[in-house]
Chains A and B, each alone.
Chain A
C-alpha cells in the first residue's frame, strides 16, 4: 500500500476472493510471461512527503528565478504580477481537479468560466468567435495555419521574421506533414516587409508587436494578405491589445497568441495557454473546445460544450484538429486576471508599460555604445544594438544581479549584437535606472577591453 492507495492486505485477500482468483499475478494472465518484468523498475525507492519536498526545494534553489535577479528577459513570456486571488481561486478543488466537462449538468462552473473567457478574448481581439484555449502561443500559430490551409486551399505560408522564432519553427515542423511551403518575409526598419504578390498563399502570418518589439501596421498587412487571396493570421501579445487597435478591427482573420502574460506564472515555459479567435466564416474550422450558452429542460440558462462535430471524439479522422486536453485552468486564470484588471485597469496597465518602456528605451539608447535597433513604436519590449560582444556584456551584468535581456544572435544572425529588453509592471523606474547603470558599465568595460586588445 502506498500513501495514495487505500487497499489493505485484508481488503486485497477478500477482493481477490470475490473476483475468483488466487493472486494479483493471476489478474495479469493476459500478459505473456515473456513480457513480464522479472525485476523491479530501476528507480529509487519511494520517499516521505517531507523528503520529496526537501528535494524539490533544493532543485528550485539551483535555479535563478525572477525573484533572485533583476530580469529584463521577455521574448514571449513575461514576469507580470500574478494577483493573489488567482492562486486562491484556481487551486480550489472544484476548478483544479475535474476532467473536461463532458457532463455539463455538473460542470456549469467550468463551462460558464469558458464562456466568460471566450467573451473576454473576443473583446480583446475584436473577433466574434473564440475557442476555450489551445496549448500555448507558438503551436497556436501552427494551428491557425492549418485552418488557413483548409479554408483557402493555398500551398504556402508567408510568415514574417517578426513572428516568434519558436512559432516559425513549429509551423515548419507541422507544415512538413502538410506539404506546405513556409516562406519568410524579412523585416525592414524593424517591421514586416511583405514580398510581392505570391500565388497560392494560404496565409500571411505576422506578430503584433513583433519579436523585436515593434508595433506592426496590421491593417495594411491584412489588406495585402486579402489582396493575395490569403487569410491574415496575427499572433498578438494580449497585454498590448489593451491599447492597440484590435486585430479584428484591422481585418485580421485569425488572432492567436501566448496567454501566459494574463495571470499565469512563468513556470520555465508552461503550462500556460494559447488563445485562438476567428471571424464568423471560420467558426466550423476552429480547433478545440468551445462553450456555448443554452437552456435546460426547465428553461434555465446553462452552458455546454458545443459545435463538437468539429472535434476528434466525434469526427475522428475528419476532425478540424486532434486537440483534446488543452489548458482550461490556465485560461480560467486568464479570465480572472482580465476581470481583476477590468475595463479601466487594463488600459492603465497598458499605458504604464508603454511609458516605462519608452523611458527605458530612452535611458538605454542614451548610453555610449547602445543604439536603437529600430525606431518603430514599441509597447513593452524593444531591441538595441550594442557596440560590444553581447554575451560578454550579459555576463558582466549578471555578476551585478541584472539580467539585461535576451540576445538576438541565435535567431537573427544579422543582429549579432542585438539585445531584446522587456519591461513589466514589476520593473520600476529605479529598476530601469539600475539596468542603465549596469548595462552602461558593462558595455563601456567591454569596449575599453576591445580597445586595449586593438592597441596591443
Chain B
C-alpha cells in the first residue's frame, strides 16, 4: 500500500512534545491562591527573576498521554519479547514489586523523616543488608550506591581508605582486559592508574601476567566472576592469594552474580568488596537506562570505612523490640556518596523478590540461568550455527556465553552488527555486541532463567535462518532492520553535528 496516510502518521509520530505546543493549551489547573497576594517585586526582586517564562510545551492532558503512549510504542521492551542482552540480566520484572513500592508508606516517606517514624523502612533496609550479606558471603553491607558503577567507585575509594589507614600509598589498580568499561573508568575517577591483565587461551585470567603485574604499588584487582565471557575463573582462590600476597584488595564486579546465587559466594572465594546490580540480578526494572542501585558488601577489615550513614539495629530497652537507626558516627568512613540513604524504592522491590523466592528459589534462579545458557549454546551448535559463529572459548558456560562473528563476516559477508539488526525484524532484541573487546565481532548472549525452552528454541531457529538467508543474499541483513520504527540511523552524523536539544 502506498499513499499519503501512513507517511503522515510516521511524520506525526516523530513530532516532539515541543512541536505539539500551541499557545493557550494547558494540562495543569493550579490550586487556588488562598493567601493574600503580595506584589512579586516585594518577594523576589526583579534582578533575581527571569525576564520571560521558560518555553515549556503548551499541551493538554489528552495530548500528553497520547504523545508519550505513541512514543512508548516506538520502544522494544522486555514484556514484548526475548531480550538476551549479555551482562545485563534482562529477567522478568514482577509486577507485585511496582504495587508494593507504590504503597504510600514507602512512596511518600520523606528521606529526612526521623528514624523512630521510619522504622518500617529502616527495618526493610536492615533485612536487605543481611540478605545481601548472606548471598555474597561478606557480612557488612552499604545500600547507598546508586548503580553498579557507583558501587565500583565506592569499592575503590574503600580500598584507598583501607590502605591509607595502614599508612600505605598505592597507585595502581588491575583490571582484566575482559572487564566492563566501568571498571577502568572507575579506577581513573578514584585517582589510580589502570594496569590491564591479560586473558589466557582458555578464557581465564592469565596467572603469569597477573603475578608479574601484582606489585607492592597495586591497590586492588577488580574482577568479574563469572567473567564477561560467561566463564567461571577456576583459579579464583589462587588469584586471591596472589592479590592478597601483595597487600591489595580483591573487588568483585557483581554484574554476573545471577550465575552463582546459593551455589558459591564471593566472600568464600576471597573477595573483599562486592557490588550488586539490583537492576540486573534482583529484578528492578531497567527503565530504559535506570534507575538501578549498586549496594556493596565488604569483609571485616573494610567495614570501618563504609559510607555513612549506615543502617543499624540497636537492642531495645526494657523489653522493647529492636530499634533501627541511621548511624552517622563512623570516624573512618569514606563519607557520603550521594544524598540521603540510597534508592529505597529499588530496595523495596529487591526485598520483595528475595522474600518471594527464598534461599531455594534464588538457587533455582541461578541453576536455571546456567541451564538455559548452556542449552541455548547446545541448540545453536546442533543447528550448525557455531560453524559461522563459533563460541569464543569452547567449554561449559555459566549464565551467558560469547560467540565470535568473525567466520560469518568472512564467509557470509555480514557483520555481527548486521545479524543484530536483522534480529530486530524477528521481534528479538539483539545480544550485547562488540563486547567483550578481546573477541572479534563478539556477541554476548544471556538468556536468563525467566525464559521458556520454547523461546530459546525459537531464538536458535531465528539465528540459523538469518545465517541461511545471508548465505543466499547478504544484502538483506546489511539493510536491516525493515520493520522497526526507523531504519539504521546515521550515528556518525549525530556525533559530528550534535543536535542535543530542540531549538525553540
- CB pair B76 A330 closer than 8 Å: no
Task: Answer yes or no: B471 CB below 8 A from chain A CBs.
Answer: no
- CB pair A67 B108 closer than 8 Å: yes
Task: Answer yes or no: B438 CB below 8 A from chain A CBs.
Answer: no
- CB pair B490 A95 closer than 8 Å: no
Q: Which residues of B contact A371 (CB under 8 A)?
A: none
Q: How many inter-chain contacts with C-beta < 8 Å in the A-B complex?
A: 713
Task: Answer yes or no: A31 CB below 8 A from chain B CBs.
Answer: yes
- CB pair B338 A99 closer than 8 Å: no
Q: In whole Å, how far is B184's beta carbon from the nearest beta carbon of chain A?
A: 4
Q: Which residues of B contact A316 (CB under 8 A)?
A: 181, 184-185, 194
- CB pair B152 A322 closer than 8 Å: yes
User: Closest residue to B147 on the A side, CB-wise?
Assistant: A325
| Mask: chain A, 202-225; 1 = CB below 8 Å from B; 0 = not | 000000000000010100000000
Q: Which residues of B contact A12 (CB under 8 A)?
A: 371
- CB pair B237 A329 closer than 8 Å: no
Task: Answer yes or no: B157 CB below 8 A from chain A CBs.
Answer: yes
Task: Answer yes or no: B77 CB below 8 A from chain A CBs.
Answer: yes
Q: How far is the CA of A351 from the CA of B37 in the complex (A)?
A: 10
Task: Answer yes or no: A152 CB below 8 A from chain B CBs.
Answer: no
Q: Which residues of A contact B263 (CB under 8 A)?
A: 28, 31, 36-37
User: Closest residue to A93 on the B side, CB-wise?
Assistant: B79
Which listed residue, B110, B342, B371, touches A73 by the CB 8 Å rule?
Answer: B110
Q: In whole Å, how far is B59's beta carbon from the nearest beta carbon of chain A?
A: 6
- CB pair B110 A329 closer than 8 Å: no
8 further A-B contacts with Cβ under 8 Å, apart from A12-B371, A102-B85, A242-B50, are A11-B453, A96-B93, A108-B485, A119-B18, A267-B109, A306-B495, A317-B188, A328-B289
Which residues, 276 to 305 on A, are CB-close (under 8 Å) to B? 283, 289-298, 300-304
Q: How far is the CA of A47 from the CA of B96 in the complex (A)?
A: 13
Q: How far is the CA of A18 from the CA of B375 in the complex (A)?
A: 7
Which residues, 373 to 405 on B, are CB-close (under 8 Å) to A? 374-375, 377-379, 382, 395-396, 398
Task: Answer yes or no: A63 CB below 8 A from chain B CBs.
Answer: yes
Size bin of chain A's contact surface: 35 or more
Report if A110-B75 is in contact (Cβ < 8 Å); known contacts: A43-B359, A105-B488, A318-B188: yes
Task: Answer yes or no: B346 CB below 8 A from chain A CBs.
Answer: yes
Q: How far is the CA of A317 from the CA of B196 in the complex (A)?
A: 10
Report if A326-B355 is in contact (Cβ < 8 Å); known contacts: A135-B150, A167-B339, A173-B336: no
User: Closest residue to A316 on the B side, CB-wise?
Assistant: B184
Task: Answer yes or no: B236 CB below 8 A from chain A CBs.
Answer: yes
- CB pair A18 B378 closer than 8 Å: yes
- CB pair A58 B120 closer than 8 Å: yes
User: Closest residue to B125 on the A side, CB-wise?
Assistant: A268
Task: Provide 24 A-B residue pairs closer than 8 Å at the C-beta atoms, listed in order of the A residue.
Answer: A7-B452, A15-B372, A15-B375, A30-B395, A30-B398, A31-B263, A32-B236, A56-B103, A57-B103, A96-B93, A101-B288, A105-B488, A112-B74, A116-B16, A270-B344, A293-B499, A294-B491, A304-B494, A315-B181, A317-B185, A321-B185, A327-B291, A339-B27, A347-B53
